Structure 1
Protein backbone atom coordinates (compact mmCIF):
# COMPACT_ATOMS: atom_id res chain seq x y z
CA UNK A 1 0.00 0.00 0.00
CA UNK A 2 1.72 3.26 -1.08
CA UNK A 3 1.67 5.68 1.85
CA UNK A 4 2.84 9.30 1.91
CA UNK A 5 3.16 11.73 4.79
CA UNK A 6 1.82 15.08 3.65
CA UNK A 7 4.09 17.56 5.40
CA UNK A 8 2.39 20.43 3.56
CA UNK A 9 -0.84 19.72 5.48
CA UNK A 10 -1.72 20.48 9.12
CA UNK A 11 -4.74 20.09 11.40
CA UNK A 12 -7.04 22.38 13.38
CA UNK A 13 -9.33 20.99 16.07
CA UNK A 14 -12.77 22.62 16.38
CA UNK A 15 -14.50 21.32 19.50
CA UNK A 16 -17.36 22.33 21.78
CA UNK A 17 -21.18 22.34 21.87
CA UNK A 18 -21.43 24.85 18.99
CA UNK A 19 -18.64 23.41 16.83
CA UNK A 20 -20.90 22.00 14.09
CA UNK A 21 -23.23 24.99 13.84
CA UNK A 22 -20.24 27.35 13.88
CA UNK A 23 -18.62 25.66 10.87
CA UNK A 24 -21.95 25.10 9.13
CA UNK A 25 -22.38 28.84 8.67
CA UNK A 26 -18.86 29.34 7.35
CA UNK A 27 -17.82 26.49 5.07
CA UNK A 28 -19.03 25.29 1.66
CA UNK A 29 -19.56 21.76 2.97
CA UNK A 30 -22.51 20.44 5.01
CA UNK A 31 -21.07 19.98 8.50
CA UNK A 32 -24.32 19.28 10.35
CA UNK A 33 -24.72 15.84 8.77
CA UNK A 34 -21.02 14.90 9.04
CA UNK A 35 -20.70 11.66 10.98
CA UNK A 36 -17.87 10.68 13.31
CA UNK A 37 -15.08 9.11 11.26
CA UNK A 38 -16.43 10.51 7.98
CA UNK A 39 -14.25 12.73 5.79
CA UNK A 40 -15.58 15.48 3.53
CA UNK A 41 -14.01 18.13 1.32
CA UNK A 42 -14.87 21.81 1.40
CA UNK A 43 -13.55 25.34 1.56
CA UNK A 44 -13.62 28.65 3.36
CA UNK A 45 -14.49 31.54 1.06
CA UNK A 46 -14.32 35.29 1.38
CA UNK A 47 -17.48 37.44 1.28
CA UNK A 48 -17.03 37.92 -2.48
CA UNK A 49 -16.96 34.16 -3.02
CA UNK A 50 -13.24 33.81 -3.64
CA UNK A 51 -11.28 30.85 -2.29
CA UNK A 52 -9.42 31.44 0.98
CA UNK A 53 -8.61 27.82 1.88
CA UNK A 54 -9.53 24.33 0.75
CA UNK A 55 -10.16 21.94 3.65
CA UNK A 56 -10.85 18.33 4.51
CA UNK A 57 -13.32 17.93 7.37
CA UNK A 58 -13.06 14.89 9.64
CA UNK A 59 -16.06 14.25 11.85
CA UNK A 60 -15.38 13.53 15.53
CA UNK A 61 -17.80 12.83 18.38
CA UNK A 62 -17.26 16.25 19.98
CA UNK A 63 -16.55 18.34 16.92
CA UNK A 64 -14.58 18.45 13.68
CA UNK A 65 -10.94 18.39 12.62
CA UNK A 66 -9.92 20.60 9.69
CA UNK A 67 -7.13 19.38 7.39
CA UNK A 68 -5.61 22.51 5.82
CA UNK A 69 -2.45 23.70 4.11
CA UNK A 70 0.26 23.83 6.78
CA UNK A 71 1.42 27.34 5.95
CA UNK A 72 -2.14 28.59 6.40
CA UNK A 73 -2.92 27.06 9.78
CA UNK A 74 -2.00 30.02 11.98
CA UNK A 75 -3.86 32.47 9.76
CA UNK A 76 -6.91 30.19 9.66
CA UNK A 77 -6.93 29.87 13.44
CA UNK A 78 -6.88 33.63 13.69
CA UNK A 79 -9.67 34.07 11.11
CA UNK A 80 -11.85 31.43 12.74
CA UNK A 81 -11.33 33.11 16.11
CA UNK A 82 -12.68 36.35 14.65
CA UNK A 83 -15.79 34.54 13.37
CA UNK A 84 -16.36 32.77 16.70
CA UNK A 85 -18.01 35.71 18.51
CA UNK A 86 -20.18 34.15 21.26
CA UNK A 87 -20.16 30.59 19.94
CA UNK A 88 -19.11 27.97 22.49
CA UNK A 89 -16.21 26.67 20.44
CA UNK A 90 -12.63 25.72 21.24
CA UNK A 91 -10.05 26.18 18.47
CA UNK A 92 -6.57 24.66 18.67
CA UNK A 93 -3.75 23.30 16.55
CA UNK A 94 -3.76 19.50 16.29
CA UNK A 95 -0.24 18.08 16.02
CA UNK A 96 -1.10 14.77 14.36
CA UNK A 97 0.48 14.09 10.98
CA UNK A 98 -1.50 13.79 7.75
CA UNK A 99 -1.08 10.78 5.43
CA UNK A 100 -2.45 9.74 2.06
CA UNK A 101 -2.57 6.14 0.86
CA UNK A 102 -3.90 4.25 -2.12
CA UNK A 103 -4.07 0.66 -3.20
CA UNK A 104 -5.26 -2.13 -0.91
CA UNK A 105 -5.41 -2.87 2.84
CA UNK A 106 -6.77 0.51 3.85
CA UNK A 107 -9.62 -0.61 6.09
CA UNK A 108 -10.39 1.94 8.77
CA UNK A 109 -8.95 4.91 6.89
CA UNK A 110 -11.53 7.50 5.77
CA UNK A 111 -11.93 7.68 2.01
CA UNK A 112 -10.76 10.74 0.12
CA UNK A 113 -14.11 12.39 -0.68
CA UNK A 114 -13.02 13.94 -3.97
CA UNK A 115 -12.57 10.81 -6.12
CA UNK A 116 -12.56 7.10 -5.19
CA UNK A 117 -9.26 6.52 -7.04
CA UNK A 118 -7.47 9.01 -4.79
CA UNK A 119 -7.56 6.43 -1.99
CA UNK A 120 -7.75 7.41 1.66
CA UNK A 121 -6.36 9.80 4.26
CA UNK A 122 -5.15 9.07 7.78
CA UNK A 123 -4.35 11.23 10.80
CA UNK A 124 -1.87 9.97 13.35
CA UNK A 125 1.34 7.96 13.22
CA UNK A 126 2.20 5.80 10.21
CA UNK A 127 5.50 4.89 8.57
CA UNK A 128 5.44 6.31 5.01
CA UNK A 129 6.93 4.26 2.21
CA UNK A 130 6.60 6.67 -0.74
CA UNK A 131 7.95 10.12 -1.58
CA UNK A 132 5.67 13.14 -1.63
CA UNK A 133 6.21 13.47 -5.39
CA UNK A 134 4.46 10.12 -5.86
CA UNK A 135 1.30 11.57 -4.35
CA UNK A 136 1.52 14.65 -6.53
CA UNK A 137 1.98 12.50 -9.63
CA UNK A 138 -1.05 10.41 -8.70
CA UNK A 139 -3.20 13.52 -8.39
CA UNK A 140 -1.98 14.74 -11.78
CA UNK A 141 -2.68 11.33 -13.31
CA UNK A 142 -6.29 11.77 -12.23
CA UNK A 143 -6.41 15.46 -13.17
CA UNK A 144 -7.15 16.57 -9.61
CA UNK A 145 -5.78 19.95 -8.49
CA UNK A 146 -4.21 20.50 -5.08
CA UNK A 147 -3.82 23.53 -2.86
CA UNK A 148 -0.62 24.59 -4.60
CA UNK A 149 -2.61 25.18 -7.79
CA UNK A 150 -4.86 27.83 -6.24
CA UNK A 151 -4.45 31.60 -6.14
CA UNK A 152 -5.99 32.37 -2.78
CA UNK A 153 -8.40 35.29 -2.55
CA UNK A 154 -8.34 35.41 -6.38
CA UNK A 155 -9.81 32.12 -7.65
CA UNK A 156 -13.43 31.09 -7.30
CA UNK A 157 -14.03 27.57 -5.94
CA UNK A 158 -15.87 26.49 -9.10
CA UNK A 159 -12.88 27.52 -11.21
CA UNK A 160 -10.87 25.15 -9.01
CA UNK A 161 -13.40 22.34 -9.67
CA UNK A 162 -14.62 22.08 -6.08
CA UNK A 163 -18.16 21.74 -7.41
CA UNK A 164 -17.14 18.61 -9.33
CA UNK A 165 -15.03 17.16 -6.50
CA UNK A 166 -17.76 17.09 -3.83
CA UNK A 167 -16.45 20.27 -2.23
CA UNK A 168 -19.61 22.40 -2.30
CA UNK A 169 -22.97 21.43 -0.76
CA UNK A 170 -25.38 23.53 -2.81
CA UNK A 171 -28.36 22.15 -0.88
CA UNK A 172 -27.26 23.43 2.53
CA UNK A 173 -28.11 26.76 4.08
CA UNK A 174 -26.06 29.92 3.95
CA UNK A 175 -22.28 30.04 4.12
CA UNK A 176 -19.78 32.81 3.52
CA UNK A 177 -19.61 33.51 -0.22
CA UNK A 178 -22.66 31.36 -1.00
CA UNK A 179 -24.54 33.91 -3.13
CA UNK A 180 -21.73 34.34 -5.66
CA UNK A 181 -20.96 30.61 -5.75
CA UNK A 182 -24.57 29.56 -6.26
CA UNK A 183 -25.12 32.19 -8.94
CA UNK A 184 -22.07 31.02 -10.94
CA UNK A 185 -23.30 27.43 -10.82
CA UNK A 186 -26.95 28.21 -11.52
CA UNK A 187 -26.31 30.53 -14.44
CA UNK A 188 -23.51 28.45 -15.93
CA UNK A 189 -21.13 31.40 -15.98
CA UNK A 190 -17.95 29.41 -15.43
CA UNK A 191 -15.43 30.96 -17.80
CA UNK A 192 -12.27 29.20 -16.59
CA UNK A 193 -11.32 25.95 -14.89
CA UNK A 194 -8.19 24.25 -13.61
CA UNK A 195 -7.27 21.59 -16.15
CA UNK A 196 -4.44 19.03 -16.37
CA UNK A 197 -1.85 19.72 -19.06
CA UNK A 198 1.31 18.13 -20.44
CA UNK A 199 4.32 19.65 -22.19
CA UNK A 200 7.81 18.91 -23.44
CA UNK A 201 10.90 20.81 -22.42
CA UNK A 202 11.67 22.75 -19.24
CA UNK A 203 8.81 23.02 -16.73
CA UNK A 204 7.02 26.37 -16.79
CA UNK A 205 6.76 28.22 -13.50
CA UNK A 206 3.67 29.27 -11.59
CA UNK A 207 1.80 32.04 -13.34
CA UNK A 208 3.43 31.74 -16.77
CA UNK A 209 1.00 32.75 -19.48
CA UNK A 210 -0.67 30.21 -21.74
CA UNK A 211 -1.44 31.56 -25.22
CA UNK A 212 -3.65 30.50 -28.09
CA UNK A 213 -1.94 32.34 -30.89
CA UNK A 214 -1.74 35.93 -29.67
CA UNK A 215 -4.64 35.54 -27.23
CA UNK A 216 -4.22 34.85 -23.54
CA UNK A 217 -5.80 31.49 -22.73
CA UNK A 218 -4.79 31.19 -19.08
CA UNK A 219 -1.80 30.50 -16.85
CA UNK A 220 0.26 27.63 -15.51
CA UNK A 221 -0.33 26.79 -11.86
CA UNK A 222 2.04 23.84 -11.31
CA UNK A 223 4.36 21.45 -13.14
CA UNK A 224 5.95 18.08 -12.40
CA UNK A 225 7.71 15.71 -14.80
CA UNK A 226 6.18 17.09 -17.98
CA UNK A 227 2.69 17.48 -16.50
CA UNK A 228 0.91 20.12 -14.53
CA UNK A 229 -2.23 22.13 -13.95
CA UNK A 230 -3.31 25.33 -15.67
CA UNK A 231 -6.22 27.69 -15.16
CA UNK A 232 -7.60 27.96 -18.69
CA UNK A 233 -10.39 29.85 -20.39
CA UNK A 234 -12.95 27.35 -21.62
CA UNK A 235 -13.66 29.35 -24.77
CA UNK A 236 -10.00 29.16 -25.85
CA UNK A 237 -9.23 25.46 -25.55
CA UNK A 238 -9.53 24.79 -29.27
CA UNK A 239 -6.39 25.23 -31.33
CA UNK A 240 -2.72 25.23 -30.41
CA UNK A 241 -1.81 26.34 -26.87
CA UNK A 242 1.73 27.37 -25.98
CA UNK A 243 3.81 28.55 -23.04
CA UNK A 244 6.88 30.55 -24.06
CA UNK A 245 6.78 28.87 -27.45
CA UNK A 246 6.45 25.27 -26.29
CA UNK A 247 3.28 23.31 -27.03
CA UNK A 248 0.87 22.60 -24.20
CA UNK A 249 -1.61 19.72 -24.46
CA UNK A 250 -4.84 19.81 -22.42
CA UNK A 251 -6.21 16.55 -20.97
CA UNK A 252 -9.84 16.39 -19.83
CA UNK A 253 -10.39 13.60 -17.26
CA UNK A 254 -13.63 11.60 -17.38
CA UNK A 255 -14.94 13.08 -14.12
CA UNK A 256 -14.53 16.69 -15.26
CA UNK A 257 -17.71 17.97 -16.89
CA UNK A 258 -16.85 21.26 -18.57
CA UNK A 259 -20.54 22.05 -18.84
CA UNK A 260 -21.08 21.43 -15.13
Structure 2
Protein backbone atom coordinates (compact mmCIF):
# COMPACT_ATOMS: atom_id res chain seq x y z
CA UNK A 1 0.00 0.00 0.00
CA UNK A 2 1.13 3.55 -0.70
CA UNK A 3 1.00 6.18 1.99
CA UNK A 4 -1.69 8.82 1.71
CA UNK A 5 -0.64 12.25 0.54
CA UNK A 6 0.35 13.54 3.96
CA UNK A 7 2.31 16.38 2.32
CA UNK A 8 -1.04 18.00 1.52
CA UNK A 9 -3.10 20.32 3.72
CA UNK A 10 -6.75 21.29 3.22
CA UNK A 11 -7.97 24.77 4.15
CA UNK A 12 -11.60 25.87 4.47
CA UNK A 13 -12.83 29.26 3.23
CA UNK A 14 -16.08 30.75 4.52
CA UNK A 15 -17.83 34.12 4.46
CA UNK A 16 -20.10 35.93 2.04
CA UNK A 17 -17.22 37.39 0.00
CA UNK A 18 -15.25 34.17 -0.52
CA UNK A 19 -16.08 33.47 -4.16
CA UNK A 20 -15.40 36.98 -5.40
CA UNK A 21 -12.28 37.14 -3.25
CA UNK A 22 -10.84 34.00 -4.86
CA UNK A 23 -12.10 34.91 -8.34
CA UNK A 24 -10.07 38.13 -8.22
CA UNK A 25 -6.89 36.26 -7.26
CA UNK A 26 -6.60 32.85 -8.90
CA UNK A 27 -5.83 31.84 -12.49
CA UNK A 28 -8.99 29.79 -12.97
CA UNK A 29 -12.73 30.51 -12.79
CA UNK A 30 -13.98 29.78 -9.27
CA UNK A 31 -17.49 29.02 -10.57
CA UNK A 32 -16.12 25.73 -11.97
CA UNK A 33 -15.99 24.29 -8.45
CA UNK A 34 -19.71 23.63 -8.83
CA UNK A 35 -18.84 20.97 -11.42
CA UNK A 36 -15.98 19.28 -9.59
CA UNK A 37 -12.36 19.69 -8.59
CA UNK A 38 -10.59 22.80 -9.89
CA UNK A 39 -6.85 23.27 -10.44
CA UNK A 40 -5.43 26.80 -10.24
CA UNK A 41 -2.50 28.95 -9.21
CA UNK A 42 -1.80 32.20 -7.44
CA UNK A 43 0.70 34.44 -9.22
CA UNK A 44 2.77 37.44 -8.29
CA UNK A 45 2.18 40.89 -9.84
CA UNK A 46 4.79 40.12 -12.54
CA UNK A 47 2.91 36.99 -13.57
CA UNK A 48 5.34 34.55 -12.00
CA UNK A 49 4.30 31.43 -10.13
CA UNK A 50 3.77 31.50 -6.37
CA UNK A 51 1.44 28.62 -5.41
CA UNK A 52 -0.66 25.91 -7.05
CA UNK A 53 -3.63 24.15 -5.47
CA UNK A 54 -6.94 22.36 -5.98
CA UNK A 55 -10.30 23.79 -4.95
CA UNK A 56 -13.72 22.24 -4.39
CA UNK A 57 -16.99 23.29 -2.82
CA UNK A 58 -19.31 21.74 -0.28
CA UNK A 59 -22.41 23.47 1.00
CA UNK A 60 -21.44 27.15 1.40
CA UNK A 61 -17.73 26.46 1.85
CA UNK A 62 -14.75 26.42 -0.50
CA UNK A 63 -11.93 24.01 0.30
CA UNK A 64 -8.34 24.44 -0.88
CA UNK A 65 -5.87 21.54 -1.14
CA UNK A 66 -2.24 22.71 -1.18
CA UNK A 67 1.24 21.44 -0.38
CA UNK A 68 1.93 21.43 3.36
CA UNK A 69 5.12 23.40 2.85
CA UNK A 70 3.15 26.21 1.19
CA UNK A 71 0.42 26.65 3.80
CA UNK A 72 1.96 29.39 5.92
CA UNK A 73 3.18 31.54 3.02
CA UNK A 74 -0.06 31.04 1.09
CA UNK A 75 -2.20 32.07 4.06
CA UNK A 76 -0.05 35.14 4.65
CA UNK A 77 -0.45 36.15 1.01
CA UNK A 78 -4.22 35.60 1.04
CA UNK A 79 -4.67 37.52 4.29
CA UNK A 80 -2.70 40.41 2.79
CA UNK A 81 -5.32 40.63 0.02
CA UNK A 82 -8.33 40.07 2.28
CA UNK A 83 -8.52 43.63 3.68
CA UNK A 84 -12.11 44.19 4.89
CA UNK A 85 -13.69 41.36 2.94
CA UNK A 86 -15.86 38.84 4.78
CA UNK A 87 -13.49 35.89 4.32
CA UNK A 88 -12.38 33.41 6.95
CA UNK A 89 -9.63 30.82 6.43
CA UNK A 90 -9.39 27.83 8.77
CA UNK A 91 -7.39 24.62 8.79
CA UNK A 92 -9.13 21.24 8.49
CA UNK A 93 -8.26 17.66 9.40
CA UNK A 94 -9.26 16.31 5.99
CA UNK A 95 -6.78 13.78 4.62
CA UNK A 96 -5.98 13.74 0.90
CA UNK A 97 -5.89 10.31 -0.76
CA UNK A 98 -5.14 9.77 -4.45
CA UNK A 99 -5.43 6.82 -6.80
CA UNK A 100 -5.95 5.85 -10.42
CA UNK A 101 -8.28 2.84 -10.12
CA UNK A 102 -11.61 2.07 -8.44
CA UNK A 103 -12.79 5.56 -7.56
CA UNK A 104 -14.19 5.49 -4.01
CA UNK A 105 -17.56 7.10 -3.41
CA UNK A 106 -17.11 10.84 -3.05
CA UNK A 107 -13.78 10.98 -4.90
CA UNK A 108 -13.26 13.70 -7.51
CA UNK A 109 -11.51 13.39 -10.85
CA UNK A 110 -8.12 15.09 -11.04
CA UNK A 111 -8.76 17.93 -13.55
CA UNK A 112 -5.18 18.05 -14.86
CA UNK A 113 -5.34 14.86 -16.92
CA UNK A 114 -7.69 11.83 -17.13
CA UNK A 115 -4.80 9.47 -16.37
CA UNK A 116 -4.09 11.23 -13.05
CA UNK A 117 -7.07 9.46 -11.52
CA UNK A 118 -8.92 10.81 -8.50
CA UNK A 119 -8.50 12.71 -5.25
CA UNK A 120 -10.49 11.95 -2.12
CA UNK A 121 -10.93 14.22 0.90
CA UNK A 122 -11.96 12.72 4.21
CA UNK A 123 -10.80 9.82 6.35
CA UNK A 124 -7.59 7.94 5.65
CA UNK A 125 -7.83 5.49 2.74
CA UNK A 126 -5.53 2.64 1.79
CA UNK A 127 -4.62 3.01 -1.87
CA UNK A 128 -2.67 0.88 -4.32
CA UNK A 129 0.89 1.92 -5.07
CA UNK A 130 1.32 4.42 -7.91
CA UNK A 131 4.65 5.75 -9.12
CA UNK A 132 3.38 9.32 -9.27
CA UNK A 133 6.71 10.75 -10.40
CA UNK A 134 6.88 8.42 -13.40
CA UNK A 135 3.25 9.20 -14.22
CA UNK A 136 3.83 12.95 -14.01
CA UNK A 137 6.83 12.68 -16.30
CA UNK A 138 4.84 10.73 -18.89
CA UNK A 139 1.96 13.21 -18.79
CA UNK A 140 3.99 16.42 -18.44
CA UNK A 141 2.62 17.49 -15.07
CA UNK A 142 4.85 19.78 -12.98
CA UNK A 143 5.31 19.53 -9.22
CA UNK A 144 6.13 22.13 -6.61
CA UNK A 145 9.86 22.69 -6.03
CA UNK A 146 10.70 20.32 -8.89
CA UNK A 147 9.37 22.16 -11.94
CA UNK A 148 7.19 24.81 -10.28
CA UNK A 149 9.70 27.36 -9.03
CA UNK A 150 9.35 30.99 -8.01
CA UNK A 151 10.76 32.37 -11.26
CA UNK A 152 8.63 30.30 -13.65
CA UNK A 153 5.60 31.25 -15.72
CA UNK A 154 2.59 28.95 -15.63
CA UNK A 155 2.23 28.68 -19.41
CA UNK A 156 5.79 27.33 -19.55
CA UNK A 157 4.58 24.76 -17.01
CA UNK A 158 1.68 23.66 -19.27
CA UNK A 159 -1.09 25.11 -17.08
CA UNK A 160 -3.25 25.70 -20.14
CA UNK A 161 -3.06 22.03 -21.14
CA UNK A 162 -3.64 21.02 -17.50
CA UNK A 163 -6.85 23.07 -17.19
CA UNK A 164 -5.21 25.37 -14.65
CA UNK A 165 -5.93 28.73 -16.27
CA UNK A 166 -9.05 30.33 -17.77
CA UNK A 167 -8.51 33.01 -20.42
CA UNK A 168 -12.18 34.02 -20.47
CA UNK A 169 -12.52 35.04 -16.83
CA UNK A 170 -11.93 38.56 -15.58
CA UNK A 171 -8.76 40.04 -14.16
CA UNK A 172 -6.61 38.36 -11.54
CA UNK A 173 -3.13 39.02 -10.21
CA UNK A 174 -0.61 38.37 -13.00
CA UNK A 175 -3.35 38.09 -15.64
CA UNK A 176 -1.93 40.71 -17.99
CA UNK A 177 1.44 38.98 -18.33
CA UNK A 178 -0.19 35.55 -18.70
CA UNK A 179 -2.58 36.79 -21.40
CA UNK A 180 0.26 38.49 -23.27
CA UNK A 181 2.27 35.28 -23.29
CA UNK A 182 -0.77 33.42 -24.59
CA UNK A 183 -1.75 35.77 -27.39
CA UNK A 184 1.35 37.73 -28.42
CA UNK A 185 4.37 35.50 -28.02
CA UNK A 186 5.50 31.99 -28.85
CA UNK A 187 6.82 30.11 -25.86
CA UNK A 188 10.58 29.85 -26.10
CA UNK A 189 11.10 27.90 -22.88
CA UNK A 190 9.20 25.29 -20.94
CA UNK A 191 9.12 21.73 -19.68
CA UNK A 192 9.79 18.75 -21.90
CA UNK A 193 10.29 15.05 -21.36
CA UNK A 194 13.72 13.52 -21.85
CA UNK A 195 15.85 10.48 -21.22
CA UNK A 196 18.99 10.58 -19.08
CA UNK A 197 21.91 8.17 -19.22
CA UNK A 198 22.09 8.32 -15.40
CA UNK A 199 20.42 10.09 -12.50
CA UNK A 200 21.72 13.54 -11.60
CA UNK A 201 20.99 15.97 -8.74
CA UNK A 202 17.77 17.96 -8.99
CA UNK A 203 18.14 21.11 -11.11
CA UNK A 204 21.47 20.10 -12.60
CA UNK A 205 22.14 22.50 -15.47
CA UNK A 206 21.84 21.22 -19.05
CA UNK A 207 24.37 22.41 -21.60
CA UNK A 208 24.58 22.08 -25.37
CA UNK A 209 27.78 22.99 -27.19
CA UNK A 210 28.99 24.60 -23.99
CA UNK A 211 25.93 26.84 -23.59
CA UNK A 212 23.42 26.66 -20.74
CA UNK A 213 19.99 25.71 -22.12
CA UNK A 214 18.06 24.63 -19.01
CA UNK A 215 18.04 22.18 -16.12
CA UNK A 216 16.84 18.74 -15.03
CA UNK A 217 13.71 18.45 -12.90
CA UNK A 218 11.83 15.28 -11.85
CA UNK A 219 13.48 11.92 -12.63
CA UNK A 220 12.35 8.29 -12.59
CA UNK A 221 14.10 5.24 -14.04
CA UNK A 222 15.99 7.14 -16.72
CA UNK A 223 13.05 9.35 -17.70
CA UNK A 224 12.88 13.02 -16.73
CA UNK A 225 11.14 16.32 -17.02
CA UNK A 226 13.51 19.07 -18.07
CA UNK A 227 13.12 22.82 -18.36
CA UNK A 228 14.78 23.97 -21.58
CA UNK A 229 14.99 26.60 -24.28
CA UNK A 230 13.13 24.88 -27.10
CA UNK A 231 15.20 26.38 -29.91
CA UNK A 232 18.41 25.14 -28.27
CA UNK A 233 17.40 21.48 -28.16
CA UNK A 234 20.16 19.64 -29.98
CA UNK A 235 21.94 16.33 -30.27
CA UNK A 236 24.79 16.87 -27.81
CA UNK A 237 23.18 17.78 -24.49
CA UNK A 238 24.79 17.09 -21.12
CA UNK A 239 23.63 17.46 -17.51
CA UNK A 240 26.54 17.00 -15.13
CA UNK A 241 28.08 13.71 -16.26
CA UNK A 242 24.84 12.41 -17.80
CA UNK A 243 23.79 12.50 -21.42
CA UNK A 244 20.40 14.11 -22.09
CA UNK A 245 18.56 12.44 -24.97
CA UNK A 246 15.25 12.46 -26.85
CA UNK A 247 14.07 15.81 -25.50
CA UNK A 248 10.45 16.29 -26.57
CA UNK A 249 7.97 18.99 -25.46
CA UNK A 250 4.97 16.91 -26.63
CA UNK A 251 3.13 14.83 -24.03
CA UNK A 252 0.35 12.25 -23.82
CA UNK A 253 -3.04 13.94 -24.19
For normalisation by structure 2, the TM-score amounts to 0.92
Shift in Å, 1:64:
1.3
Q: CA deviation at 1:44?
A: 0.2
How far is 1:3 from its partner? 6.4
TM-aligned CA deviation for residue 4 of structure 1? 5.1
Q: Distance in 2 between matches of 1:119 and 1:129?
A: 12
Deviation at 1:81, TM superposition (A): 0.9
Distance across 1 between alignment mates of 2:113 and 2:100: 12
Show the counterpart of 2:22.
Answer: 23
Shift of residue 151, structure 1, vs aligned partner: 4.7
How far off is 1:197 after superposition? 2.1
Q: Where does structure 1 lack aligned partners over 5 or more consecutive residues? A: 256-260
Question: 2:12 aligned with 1:13, yes or no?
Answer: yes
Once superposed, what is the RMSD of the aligned Cα atoms? 1.9
* Offset at residue 109 of structure 1 (A): 1.1
CA shift digits 1:121-152 (9 cap, x unpaired): 11111332445x72222222323222232353
Whether 1:52 aligns to 2:64 is no
CA distance in 2, matches of 1:223, 1:164: 21
Report the CA distance between 1:107 and its aligned residue: 4.6
Tell me which of 157, 177, 189 is aligned to 2:186.
189
Question: Contact 1:46/1:153 (CA < 8 Å) preserved in 2?
Answer: no
* Corresponding position of 2:112: 114
Answer whether contact 1:212 1:236 (CA < 8 A) is retained. Answer: yes
**What number of residue pairs does the alignment pair up?**
251
- 1:55 and 1:67 in contact (8 A); partners too: yes
State the match for 1:258 in structure 2.
Answer: none
How far 1:97 moved relative to its partner?
Answer: 1.3
Match of 1:241 in 2: 237
Task: Select 1:96's aligned residue among 94, 97, 111.
Answer: 94
After the TM superposition, list the runs of 4 or more consecutive aligned residues in structure 1 that deviate by more than 6 angstroms: none
Per the alignment, residue 146 of structure 2 pairs with 149
List alignment gaps of at least 5 residues for structure 2: none
Deviations 1:198-243 (A, max 9, x none): 2122x21122111122122211122233222211111112323221
How far apart, CA to CA, are the structure 2 residues paired with 1:55 and 1:105?
Answer: 21
Alignment partner for residue 206 of structure 2, among 210, 215, 225?
A: 210
Who is 1:40 aligned against? Answer: 38
The residue number in structure 1 matching 2:71 is 73
Counterpart secondary structure, 1:28: coil
Residue 253 of structure 1, CA deviation: 1.3
Describe the shift of the 1:142–1:4 C-alpha distance in structure 2 as closer, same or farther (beyond 3 A).
farther
Give per-residue Cα distances to partners, 1:13-60, cap 9 Å, x unaligned.
111111111000000010034207x10111000000000001111122
Q: TM-score, normalised by structure 1?
A: 0.89
